[in-house]
Amino acid sequence: MKLLITGGAGFIGSAVVRYIIGNTDAEVVNLDKLTYAGNLESLAEVSGSERYAFEQVDICNRAEVDRVLVQHQPDAIMHLAAESHVDRSIDGPAAFIETNIVGTYTLLEATRHYWQALEGERKTNFRFHHISTDEVYGDLEGTDDLFTETTPYAPSSPYSASKASSDHLVRAWQRTYGLPVLITNCSNNYGPYHFPEKLIPLVILNALEGKPLPIYGKGDQIRDWLYVADHARALYTVVTKGKPGETYNIGGHNEKQNIEVVHTLCDTLQELRPQAMPYRELITTVKDRPGHDKRYAIDASKIEKELGWVPQETFETGIRKTVQWCLDNLDWCQRVQDGSYQRERLGSGE
């Protein structure tokens, strides 16, 4: 089986590539534009594999996407390429519209023409797997409600609105053209190789440098946290076992307030890298961002019952692994923070 993975140099995408190369016999073609969030250093452990190939291509470039499809002849596409940071979407929504909506449309059209030309079992077995987010559902009012696969969409930010739009496009391409699609909506991911603009790596690295640990408002926003390696395993399960036309929610069963997450990170750091002044004393509050959703929580019972996937990491074990990975890979973190991973890439002509 050959899988074309868009956004395979990003945080979740690179975890999927590493999982597939390390745990299956499948081949992977990684198609990535290499924006600021794309880092080939995250794929160093698999880059030498004969089953791995990289194509630096923008999904908005139809001619190049067509070329990659014809050249590599994938059996399935896993579409992870997306702009994904809510704060960036508030400051500059245009890039989110371009990549998440126009890019998904371009990829769908290229895929449709490629798929229609396939024959026999190759056409029957082909899959287009679109990876989305639980943020398309908006937020939950009560403390017991959960997002299900039929929860109405109510996105709050330019980011989540652009992802909701892409979800609708994918479903329309199946309904109108018969393209065999799968959609997954996941909760907040964390783990190794996470870009440090996100909450968990930002807190870890700021704490190690003695910098303030910023918390929006009271820090009472609730998220369901999913260890990225568990997510990667779930995505491979869906693309190989999922039923075309179905949506699967993927969650970690770990609802935590943001302030709880930061406290856990501080306490874990205090254990693994102790210092005289407790890390908790670095916590500071900042003005809440516009339209900030209060609570997300995933009902992942469908993927568990139908496909047999369950997360292997608890929040505590996943956080400990994440903190330890950061401590063991401070060079990687530093290169991302100071931008040298990009400068060297540009200097090499990539």
Question: What are the catalytic residues?
Answer: 134-135, 159
* Torsion angles phi and psi, residue 233, rounded to 5: -65, -40
Q: Tokens 């959960």: give the residue.
A: 146
Identify the burial level of 290 via C-beta atoms within 10 angstroms of its C-beta, where 0-12 means exposed, 13-18 middle and 19 or more buried.
exposed
Look up residue 247 and give its DSSP letter.
E
Across the beta sheet with 2-6, what order do the strands follow?
Answer: 52-56, 27-32, 2-6, 76-79, 127-133, 181-186, 247-250
Beta strands in the chain (DSSP E): 2-6, 27-32, 52-56, 76-79, 127-133, 181-186, 188-190, 213-216, 222-227, 247-250, 255-257, 283-286
